[in-house]
Homo-oligomer: A and B are copies of this chain.
Amino acid sequence: MNDLAASVLAGDRRAVARLLTLVENAPVEARRLLATLYPHTGHAHVIGVTGAPGTGKSTLVNQMTLELRRRGRTVGIIAVDPTSPFSGGAILGDRIRMQDVAGDPGVFIRSMATRGSLGGLARATADAIRVLDAFGRDIILVETVGVGQAEVEIARAAHTTVVLQIPTLGDDIQILKAGILEIADVLVINKADLPGTERVRAALSMMLDLGARSNDWRPPIIETIAVQGLGIAAVIDAVEQHLAYLKDGGRLAQRERQRVHDEIVSLLRDNLTARTLAALPEGALDSLVQRVCRRQIDPYAAVQEIIGK
């Protein structure tokens, strides 16, 4: 089994694909291999790309990849779809994306869909990043579909998060709801040939003025027309400037400590719960569930009983 880890470190693409399958389907088995790889990680720049459906994320990721390849970087792409338990959509997305970069050994693409919980997906994504990092990719692009907490969870694993918007039609309230701005390091207005571009730029700029950011990096707002490849170099420049900003004054190390802290707590949470439930007498949980359903006790009281045992 350790051969697989050694093959990943030696640059074997098939070994990477097999290990990623293990990460998704057999996380416990994958764990020992990930531990072997762990000392070889920490070199890649992890870039999250997120935005609502229809904003053109896949196209942007494709174009960013082409630009990164022009600049001589190797690229790993993880396309995460937290809105779908079907991997079908993601696979279809892959095929389309791959047309431009297929056959380039400097690009490695992998889709991941939700199999279980969001937590499970976030964990599998973090582990997949580690595999591609150990594989030696310079840049890892993590593309997530949807708007909401899923992105926020997954964005924790990224050093730099690119958030896409498109010019909207009416409805000023919706843009105020984009709390996802909080996680943006670079803002991209894609489809910038559509009417409304200036209005979205003004709204984003106002929100940046209003929002209390925890640091002094102001996300640049960049216009792109990704289908035509326009504005892409500016996106890559901004992403590189953000990495330089993070490296300056130990911010990257600070961010890494926070990420590791959160990851340990999250793993601890799952581990403790699994152990405690496994240690309960046969039928004890079912019996508590029944008493709660009959409204004899409330759910908090049920938890107290489990912990008392």
Contact = CB atoms under 8 A, between A and B. Distances in A.
A267 interface: yes
Contact of A86 (B54, B146, B179, B269): B179
**Which secondary structure dominates where chain A touches chain B?**
helix
A298 interface: yes
Q: Quick one: copies of this chain in the complex?
A: 2
Interface in A84-103: 84-86, 88-90, 92-93, 96
Contacts of A92: 173, 176
Interface string A289-307: 1101101011111110011
B264 A285 contact: yes
A81 interface: yes
Interface residues of A, number: 80
A128 to B, nearest CB: 14
A170 to B, nearest CB: 9
Nearest to A269: B273
A177 interface: yes
Interface of A: 31, 34-35, 38-39, 41-42, 52-54, 81-86, 88-90, 92-93, 96, 113-114, 117-118, 121, 145-153, 168, 171, 173-174, 176-180, 182, 253, 256-257, 260-261, 263-265, 267-273, 275-277, 285, 288-290, 292-293, 295, 297-303, 306-307
29 contacts: A35-B301, A38-B295, A39-B295, A42-B295, A81-B177, A83-B147, A83-B148, A83-B149, A83-B177, A83-B179, A85-B179, A89-B179, A96-B173, A114-B149, A145-B148, A145-B177, A146-B148, A147-B148, A256-B293, A257-B290, A260-B292, A261-B285, A261-B289, A264-B285, A264-B288, A264-B306, A271-B303, A272-B276, A275-B307
